[in-house]
């Protein structure tokens, strides 16, 4: 606590004026700092909302990719079964051709499945990286 020396008519006026001036400057500095922090918080909130929207979009994209993959696999299995059935009706030559095609389709389906898994993993990594960046920014302030 600041103590002022006394003079003939009360406290020493220059000391009091200097103290008030110093206190006012410090108060204004703190007020400006708070305003700047409020602006930064608003920027970070805006960025967070943007990243949350991006995350939501990425999650929807992943779900669509998974659904598409399931449909492709289902269709590929159905097509393979139809090809095998037709091949059985038409003889061993057609059976051999159909089995070859069914194997290719199965490999394609497996490749698509691997691609979907890789796609999902990459999107999850990107989201986690963005969340880490946001957390690092938040930790700084």
Give the Å distances, CA to CA, from 30 to 41, 69, 72. Answer: 16, 57, 61
Token pair recorded at residue 45 = 């909130």
Q: What is the pLDDT of residues 62-76, one digit of tens each?
A: 999 999 999 999 999
Q: Is 7 helix (H, G, I), strand (E, B) or coil?
A: strand
Q: Is 4 left (phi over 0), alpha (psi -120 to 50) or beta?
A: beta
| pLDDT surpasses 70 at 103 | yes
The token pair that represents 58 in the structure block: 């990425």
Q: Which two tokens stand for residue 130?
A: 């963005």
Residue 1's SS3 state is: coil
**What is the torsional sign of CA 51, 54, 60, 61?**
negative
Mean pLDDT along residues 116-139: 89
pLDDT over 70 at 4, yes or no: no
pLDDT at site 141: 67
Q: In this model, does residue 3 exceed pLDDT 80?
A: no
pLDDT at 95: 67
Distance CA 115, CA 87 (A): 30
- CA–CA gap between residue 118 and residue 123 (Å, rounded): 9
Domain locations along the chain = 55-140
């Amino acid at each position: 606590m600041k103590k002022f020396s006394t003079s003939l008519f009360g406290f020493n006026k220059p000391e009091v004026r200097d103290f008030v001036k110093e206190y006012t400057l410090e108060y204004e500095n703190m007020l400006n700092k708070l305003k700047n922090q409020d602006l930064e918080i608003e920027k970070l909130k805006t960025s967070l909302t943007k990243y949350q929207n991006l995350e939501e979009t990425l999650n929807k994209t992943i779900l669509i990719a998974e659904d598409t993959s399931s449909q492709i696999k289902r269709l590929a299995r159905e097509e393979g079964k139809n090809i095998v059935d037709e091949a059985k009706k038409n003889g061993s030559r057609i059976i051999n051709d159909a089995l070859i095609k069914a194997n290719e389709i199965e490999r394609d389906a497996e490749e698509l499945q691997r691609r979907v898994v890789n796609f999902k993993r990459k999107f999850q990594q990107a989201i986690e990286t963005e969340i880490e960046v946001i957390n690092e920014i938040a930790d700084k302030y």
